[in-house]
Every structure is written in structure tokens, then in C-alpha cells.
Amino acid sequence: MKNRIFRFLSSASGILVASAAILVVAYGLFSLSTQAHRLAQAPFMKIHPRYSGGEVTRSFSEGGAFWQVHRAVFDGLFGQRRDGFVQVDVEQFFADKPAQASIDFDGDGAADFRLILPANGAVPEVEPMSDMVDGLGAWSRDGASAIVRILLSRR
């Protein structure tokens, strides 16, 4: 009799734990999007510079546009890479007029490249003025806004 009661209590507690686990998993699946948003807002979460473009180091207005120059990104998964990029965000004052600026991304006082944004969404042009600058990388334009990545290499 004692053995039978023990088996019943064991089975009942197992069923209760399994039911609770199913409810917890169901709640987790239904609240996944809100929990993911909260986790992304946590102060310890940081987007890798390869995706974000790095921190903005300099902002200025010149040549018909507002320019934001990000830090040079050579970050890899394990240490620094030989090849990298610098991202430049541009807000043109007038989308139908070209904008251009000489940009010093490393802060040494000498321009490293000239970036020219032609009118009406044409392909940006890069004129290297430094050995580190390889040329135009990925770019995107939307109206008067542009994001341009300039390829760099350490030699």
C-alpha cells in the first residue's frame, strides 16, 4: 500500500512539473519579441563596429552637405585585421547639387581622401590622398542622405 501511494505521488508530481514546463515554454515563445527587444536595450549589449560603422569621431558642414566621419574600423573577431574601412554619413543640403569634402579620418591634420557625391543619386567618387585608402566600398543613397564606406588597408 505504501509503495502504491509513493508511485502515485511520484507520477502526479512528474505530471505537474511537465505541465509547468510546457506553460513556461509557451509563455517564452509568445513573449520572445518583447523579451528580445528588452535584451537589445540592455546596457551591456553592443553592436560590433563592422555592422554599425564605429563611433562618430567628427562632424562638420562643408561643400554643400553635413558630414559625419566614423572611426576607422579594423576590428575582427579575434584582434585587428589588415583590411578595414571608414564610414562617412552624409546629409546633402540639396539633393540635386553635388557635395564634396576632403576628409581626414585619422586626425593627423592632413586630408586622407576626397569624397564626391554627384547630384541625383549617382555613384560616389573617392580620390585617395593617402597610402591607406584603397577606394570606394559599400555605399547607399536615399534622397539627400548617403552612407559611404571607404576601404582601407594597413601596409
Q: By mean pLDDT, which of 31-45, 52-66, 99-113, 124-138 is the weakest?
A: 31-45
Same domain, 19 and 77: no
Where is pLDDT greater, at 122 or 114?
Answer: 114
Cell 558630414 found at: 67
The yes-or-no verdict on residue 1 having pLDDT over 70 is no
Same domain, 92 and 122: yes
Same domain, 34 and 54: no
Same domain, 69 and 144: yes
DSSP label at residue 54: -
Please tell me the distance from the alpha carbon of residue 80 to that of residue 85, in angstroms, as a whole number: 12
Same domain, 98 and 123: yes
Mean pLDDT of 127-142: 89
Same domain, 101 and 146: yes
Same domain, 79 and 125: yes
The yes-or-no verdict on residue 97 having pLDDT over 70 is yes
The one-letter code for the residue type at 74 is: F
Please tell me the distance from the alpha carbon of residue 66 to that of residue 54, in angstroms, as a whole number: 18
Same domain, 53 and 36: no
Return all residues near 65 (Cβ < 8 A) that are at least 6 apart. 90, 91, 92, 93, 99, 101, 117
Domain residue limits at 80: 49-153
For residue range 16-65, what is the model confidence (pLDDT) as tens digits? 999 999 999 888 888 887 777 787 778 887 777 777 888 899 999 988 88
Q: Residue 131: what pLDDT?
A: 87
